[in-house]
Structure 1
Amino acid sequence: MHRIALLAVPPVTAAELSIPEMALGLARVDGRPCYEVVPCTTRAGTDVGTGTLQIVLRHGLEALPAADSVLVVGAGGRDEADPELLGALREAAAGGKRIASVCGSVFVLAQAGLLDGRRATTYWTYAAELRRRFPRVTVQPDVLYLQDGPVVTSAGLAAALDLCLHIVRTDFGTAVANDVARLVLAAPVRSGEQTQLIAEPVPVRPGISLAGTREWALRRLHEPLTLADLARHHNSSVRTVIRRFRAETGQTPLRWLLDQRIDRARELLETTDLALDQVAQRSGIGSVDSLRQHLVRRSGLTPSAYRAAFGRAATHR
């Protein structure tokens, strides 16, 4: 079982603690929990809540050495952090632990020096401040989450769920992550490169929405779909399809298609024994060489290594 220290930097809201605890707590392999989530703060027994809400955590920084990952949450991250907290984070990072942050808690990672020379993201309204205060950090303000080596940063509170699904997928594969997404009624794992600034998340006029066209495309990922095919199904122009895709998903149609195909390939590698050329064909990626290129870029693993890590044989060991 992977142990995650959920480190609160007060003040924190209940949602900042409950979203990661819920999402990670739902991850299962053969009915067994994948994670133990341990909420903690700098000093155990103190109230870390915001406003009138009282939240008292039982664990202090002693939870960090025993953890495999540390996930930092809390608006207090933008202020000057406690030196003891920063020291504990540096020790955790030096010990090879994965370090992650949600929203404004990225400032704690920056103060600890864990983002120097790395790419990072945060809630878009904090991006300019992060860039100004920490010039050694390459700030990318227009993505949902971003992993640079063992450090993962994410945007605002809603992106915490995307971050958790990314963590589950990294540790246990796409199929397990998508099971969690279904349980919380969320979209399947989204690419971190999707923009935070989606112009129209829920279209006002359903007849104009591309939801039906996206569902149609998901059933035909193995086919060589083009922009013209999408426009024809939506009964609109290519220009309209491109504009609507950006408004509803934050991505271009072709980028969205590639992400879906990579995720389909991952699921096939995890859940079937199909040969690699069949995985490439059924996912719509085409060739084994293309499959290898995209999977290495996205996960750092070749198709064979990915199957060995997340395939049926691996999950039943």
Structure 2
Amino acid sequence: MPTTVKIMPNRPTHPVRQKSRSLQPPIVVVLAYDGVNAFDLGLAVEVFGLTDMGADWYRLVVCTEHPGRPLSANNGIRIIADDGPKFLARANTIIVPGWSHIEDKPSATLLDALRRAHQRGVRIASICSGVFILAAAGLLNGRRATAHWAQAELLSTRYPAVDVDPNVLYVDDGDIMSSAGRAAGLDLCLHIVRQDYGAEIATRVAQRLVVPPHREGGQAQYIPQPVRKAQGGALASVFAWAQHHLDQDLAIDRLASRAGMSRRTFIRRFEEATGMSPGEWVVEARVSRARELLEATQLPIEGIAAATGFGSAEALRHHFRQRIGTSPMRYRAVFQVSARTRAGVENR
């Protein structure tokens, strides 16, 4: 049997602990619809629905086109919300969680409601694939937005008028905001709190959730980046040899010699096979190997720089940040823990 969750509006119960900002608390409306992602909806409810942040904290409302009707969320969860679209007219902020049906067109009623809200100056923010609903409403035309890295190309192809940035965790484009992956929705929600209540309150909320108030870097650190290869022939053997000798001199002339080609022919064939120059490919391969070593070993940064052919820790840091969007040490702090967690699960 599916699990049914009935969502009630929040009612703050504790005394005010921060200076009151207005006579009326800002209203945050979180949309619910068939196919809504329960995690996206839940994190927005958790942040904006806190009941002990004071009387001027947000008033949270979860609304749907058909109040009281069970909605099918992902993971076998059913959601019942009692409030309808009328709350969109009163919202200060609307949160659009991700949904499971991005191949479908959202209902005309929902899209029209979002357009009217935007025309009234309401701030609208999407989480993960909720950005497809904003795009379908035409709210992102000529504007910058982001999406999960696995959906960014689809968003760009389907809605070419949208300036899709696949490298960031979230985009704040004024009255329209969007987050990348689902967990990046938490980054965006904390950003909204920071805008409305200041950094100190946003940090308090982050501490309660046991998450960083602000994450450094973008999506690049979470995207699998297999090194591009050529299939068969002389180039394939060069690719294989280079990946096992990243600590050595991988100058173009040396690689061309191993392939039995002239420098000019080698560069042309290489670019045809990979879409990048030999130099770019070598840096990509070295950064990829550095990621593996950061995740799986305790080698110091200088040792990883030597093992991957960067020569110095400074060179490694430069190229790593340029491609991954964060420093090697910060990457290790996050992903070596993740690697250990995975290993523990696999060994059970």
TM (norm. structure 2) is 0.58
Residues paired across the two proteins, number? 225
Structure 1 residue 189: Cα displacement: 2.1
From the superposition, tell whether residues 181 and 99 of structure 1 become closer, same or farther in structure 2 (CA, over 3 Å): same
Residues 73-96 of structure 1: CA deviation (Å, up to 9, x unaligned): 131462201001011001100111
One-letter code aligned to 2:91:
A
Relative distance call for 1:179 and 1:51 in structure 2 (3 A) is closer
CA shift digits 1:5-46 (9 cap, x unpaired): 0012321232121111112234976x4452111111222122
CA deviation after TM superposition for structure 1 residue 67, in Å: 1.0
Q: Structure 2 vs 1, CA of residues 7 and 128 (structure 1 numbering), >3 Å: closer, same or farther? A: same
- Alpha-carbon spacing, 1:86–1:176, altered in 2? closer, same or farther (3 Å): same
- Aligned to 2:81, the other structure's residue is in SS state coil
* Contact residue 293 and residue 299 of structure 2 kept, 8 A: no
Letter in 1 for 2:189: C
Cα distance in 1 for residues equivalent to 2:87 and 2:101: 19
Q: For residues 28 and 119 of structure 1, do their structure 2 counterparts lie closer, same or farther at Cα, with a shift above 3 Å needed?
A: farther
1:106 equivalent in alignment to 2:182: no
CA drift of 1:202 comes to 12
Contact persistence 2:74–2:100 (CA under 8 A): no
Alignment correspondent of 1:16: 40
Instruction: Structure 1: state its 5+ residue gaps.
Output: 211-235, 257-317
- Counterpart AA for 2:119: A
Tell me what 2:213 maps to.
188
The residue identity in structure 2 corresponding to 1:88 is: A
> What corresponds to 1:42 in structure 2?
65
Residues 1:208 and 1:153: Cα distance change in structure 2 (over 3 Å): farther
The reply to whether residue 250 of structure 1 matches residue 325 of structure 2 is yes
Contact conserved, 2:64 with 2:81, CA < 8 A, in 1?
A: yes
Q: Is the 8 A contact 2:28 2:92 kept in 1?
A: yes
The 1:185–1:7 alpha-carbon spacing in structure 2 relative to 1, beyond 3 Å, is same
Distance 1:95 1:77 in 2: 28
* 1:118-157 → structure 2 map (5 Å cutoff): 118-157=143-182
- TM-score, length basis structure 1: 0.64
Alpha-carbon RMSD across the aligned residues, in angstroms, is 2.8
Aligned to 1:238: 314
Q: By how many angstroms is 1:108 displaced?
A: 0.9
Look up the equivalent residue of 1:143 and give its one-letter code.
V
Q: CA deviation at 1:196?
A: 1.0
Query: Which structure carries more relative contact order (alpha carbon 8 Å, separation 6+)?
Result: 1
Give, in whole Å, the separation in 1 of the partners of 2:320 and 2:205.
28
* Counterpart for residue 59 of structure 1: 83
In structure 1, the partner of 2:109 is 84
Cα deviation, 1:101-153, whole Å, max 9, x if unaligned, reads 01111111111111111001111111111111111111111110001120000
CA contact (8 A) 2:37 2:97 kept: no
- Quick check: 1:16–1:157 contact (8 Å CA) kept in 2? yes
Q: Which residue of 2 aligns with 1:6?
A: 30
Q: Deviations over 1:258-295 (max 9, x none)?
A: xxxxxxxxxxxxxxxxxxxxxxxxxxxxxxxxxxxxxx
Contact 2:320 2:327 in 1 (8 A): no
- Asked if 2 retains the 8 angstrom alpha-carbon contact of 1:100 and 1:151, the reply is yes
Residue 116 (1) aligns with residue 192 (2) = no
Matches of 1:128 and 1:10, distance apart in 2: 24
Query: What is the aligned-residue identity percentage?
Result: 37
In structure 2, list runs of 5 or more residues that go unmatched: 1-24, 223-290, 302-311, 332-348
TM-fit CA distance, 1:168: 0.4
Query: Which residue identity is paired with 2:174?
Result: G
